[in-house]
């Protein structure tokens, strides 16, 4: 199912101009997505997941943001593309699904018009095909009465319906890559599963690559082929999904998995990672930043480590050295 490389991100670093100073939001990120692959990018709020997605689609404000490194889509470099070419990539090669389905649709435009606009900008479909294509798209994302929905305004639809419409928008021109930024966070659990099914179905049919940004490990286990874990703007671990869940290495990944509630441990107290992600100005990306939040590993927290990830097992990459010795305090014996 997983084919050739589609997206290659190499040493992507994004800095923001904050109060006259450049501060690094994400640092040295390497990620690859193949045709037909679902890569989940996980991490807590503020870890830089969305910043990475925004750089791929080139939507940062160029006056306040600096992106270095290389992001290629099918071999074509995306960083620093002129606006005109950038607009051709957006919506045609890369489709984007946003988190909040109500806010992401223009309240004054009918659903059909909004999808049609996506078709109108690009030359993939001809004008006389627009209406049929709109209906086909709404059908594809599982909307029961597409003719009716095309003629409705966003406020007339439920949250789940709106998210289906957003997906229809994202896939309007059959993109090679879909970036889904927390696509199910605002939805209830049953609708979540339906929306994920819609995404997977599109992947199966069109061999689309999907970058799925989420903090929900349940979603990851359900749909991802591989997982990259991000902390404080860096990838700390990446592996095929089964390997990562069975064999987490980095202390952050292990803490994340441990803090996910499980039904069989319903009576135990839930594990909570103390502290929060450090502020941008306090990030020293040459250290293993997560160790600041592990009181019993302070001796390693100040140690400089390599920017590169180590292949600890085949296909399983991890950053730093802490994974070799890390144990939870109650397990130490």
Partner 1 sequence: MWKVIIRRLLIMIPQLFILSVMVFMLAKMMPGDPFGGLIGPNTDPKQIEALREAAGLNDPWWQQYINWIQNAFHGDFGMSYTMKQPVTTLIGSRMVNTFWLSLLAMILTYLLAIPMAISAARREGSWWDRVLLIYNSVTFGIPAYVVYLLFIFIFGFTLGWFPTGGTVSPSATGFFPVLMSKIYHMILPAVTMALLGTTAIFTYLRSGILDEQGQDYVKTARAKGVTENRVFSRHILRNALLPIAANFGFVITGLLGGAIFAETIFGYPGLGQLFITAITSRDYSVITALILFNGLLALFGAMLSDIIMAIVDPRIRIE
List the Cα angle 211/226/91 in 5-degree steps. 15
Q: Which stretch binds partner 1 (CB under 8 A): 13-21, 100-108, 200-208, 323-331?
A: 100-108
The four Cα atoms 124, 129, 150, 185 give a dihedral, to 10 degrees, of: -20
Contacts (CB under 8 A) with partner 1, residues 56-85: 57, 59, 83
E-strand stretches of 201-252: 209-214, 226-231, 234-240
**Pick from 121, 193, 257, 310: which binds partner 1 (CB under 8 A)?**
121
Provide the minimum distance between the beta carbon of 21 and partner 1 in the complex, in angstroms, as a whole number: 18
At residue 98, φ and ψ (nearest 5 deg) are: -100, 170
Q: Does 29 help bind partner 1 (rule: CB under 8 A)? A: no
Q: Does 122 help bind partner 1 (rule: CB under 8 A)? A: yes
**DSSP-derived secondary structure for 117-167:** HHHHHSSSS-GGGHHHHHHHHHHHTT-S-HHHHHTS-GGGS-HHHHHHHHH
Q: Is the Cα dihedral 62, 65, 67, 72 positive or negative?
A: negative
Q: For residues 157 and 225, what is the distance between their CA atoms, to the nearest angstrom?
A: 32
**Pick from 9, 34, 78, 105: which binds partner 1 (CB under 8 A)?**
105
At residue 241, φ and ψ (nearest 5 deg) are: -60, -45
Provide the minimum distance between the beta carbon of 106 and partner 1 in the complex, in angstroms, as a whole number: 4
Cβ(329)–Cβ(296) below 8 Å: yes
Q: Does 206 help bind partner 1 (rule: CB under 8 A)? A: no
Q: Does 88 help bind partner 1 (rule: CB under 8 A)? A: yes
Q: For residues 147 and 138, what is the distance between their CA atoms, to the nearest angstrom?
A: 9
Contacts (CB under 8 A) with partner 1, residues 171-200: 172
Q: Which is nearer to partner 1, 151 or 242 (CB)?
A: 151
**Pick from 90, 164, 238, 250: which binds partner 1 (CB under 8 A)?**
90
Q: 275 Cβ partners below 8 Å, 6+ apart?
A: 292, 293
> Residue 9: beta bridge partners?
31, 71
Q: Which stretch binds partner 1 (CB under 8 A): 29-37, 118-126, 191-199, 244-252?
A: 118-126
Provide the minimum distance between the beta carbon of 172 and partner 1 in the complex, in angstroms, as a whole number: 8
**Pick from 25, 36, 43, 95: which binds partner 1 (CB under 8 A)?**
95
Q: Does 50 help bind partner 1 (rule: CB under 8 A)? A: no
Cβ(210)–Cβ(34) below 8 Å: no
> What's the token pair of residue 284?
């020293």
Q: 110 Cβ partners below 8 Å, 6+ apart?
A: 150, 151, 152, 153
Number of residues near partner 1 (by CB under 8 A): 29
User: What DSSP character marks residue 215?
Assistant: S
Q: Which stretch binds partner 1 (CB under 8 A): 69-77, 101-109, 240-248, 318-326?
A: 101-109
Provide the minimum distance between the beta carbon of 196 and partner 1 in the complex, in angstroms, as a whole number: 20
Q: Which is nearer to partner 1, 27 or 98 (CB)?
A: 98
Determine how many CB atoms are found less than 10 A away from the CB of residue 329: 10
Provide the minimum distance between the beta carbon of 162 and partner 1 in the complex, in angstroms, as a whole number: 11
Q: Which is nearer to partner 1, 174 or 284 (CB)?
A: 174
Q: Which stretch binds partner 1 (CB under 8 A): 90-98, 186-194, 260-268, 276-284?
A: 90-98
Q: Contact residues for partner 1 (CB under 8 A)?
A: 57, 59, 83, 87-92, 95-96, 98, 100, 103-108, 117-118, 121-122, 153, 155, 166, 169-170, 172
């Amino acid at each position: 199912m997983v084919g050739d490389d589609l997206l290659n991100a190499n040493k992507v670093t994004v800095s923001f101009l904050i109060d006259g100073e450049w501060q690094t939001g994400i640092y040295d990120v390497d990620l690859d997505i193949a045709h037909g692959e679902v890569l989940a990018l996980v991490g807590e709020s503020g870890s830089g997941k969305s910043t990475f997605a925004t750089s791929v689609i080139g939507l940062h404000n160029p006056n306040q943001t600096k992106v270095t490194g290389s992001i290629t889509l099918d071999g074509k470099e995306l960083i620093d593309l002129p606006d005109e070419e950038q607009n051709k990539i957006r919506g045609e090669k890369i489709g984007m699904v946003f988190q909040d389905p109500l806010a992401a649709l223009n309240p004054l435009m009918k659903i059909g018009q909004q999808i049609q606009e996506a078709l109108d900008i690009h030359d993939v479909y001809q004008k006389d095909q627009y209406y049929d294509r709109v209906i086909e798209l709404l059908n594809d994302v599982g909307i029961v009465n597409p003719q009716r929905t095309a003629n409705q305004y966003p406020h007339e639809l439920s949250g789940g319906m709106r998210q289906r419409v957003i997906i229809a928008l994202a896939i309007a021109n059959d993109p090679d890559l879909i970036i889904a930024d927390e696509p199910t966070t605002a939805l209830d659990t049953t609708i979540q599963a339906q929306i994920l099914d819609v995404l997977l179905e599109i992947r199966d049919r069109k061999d689309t690559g999907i970058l799925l940004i989420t903090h929900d490990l349940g979603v990851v286990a359900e749909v991802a082929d591989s997982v990259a874990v991000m902390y404080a703007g860096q990838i700390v671990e990446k592996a095929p999904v089964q390997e990562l869940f069975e064999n987490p290495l980095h202390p952050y990944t292990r803490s994340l998995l441990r803090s996910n509630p499980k039904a069989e441990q319903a009576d135990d107290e839930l594990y909570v990672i103390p502290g929060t992600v450090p502020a941008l100005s306090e990030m020293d990306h040459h250290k293993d930043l997560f160790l600041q939040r592990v009181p019993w590993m302070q001796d390693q927290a100040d140690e400089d480590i390599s920017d590169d990830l180590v292949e600890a097992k085949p296909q399983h990459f991890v950053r730093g050295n802490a994974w070799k010795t890390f144990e939870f305090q109650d397990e130490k014996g």
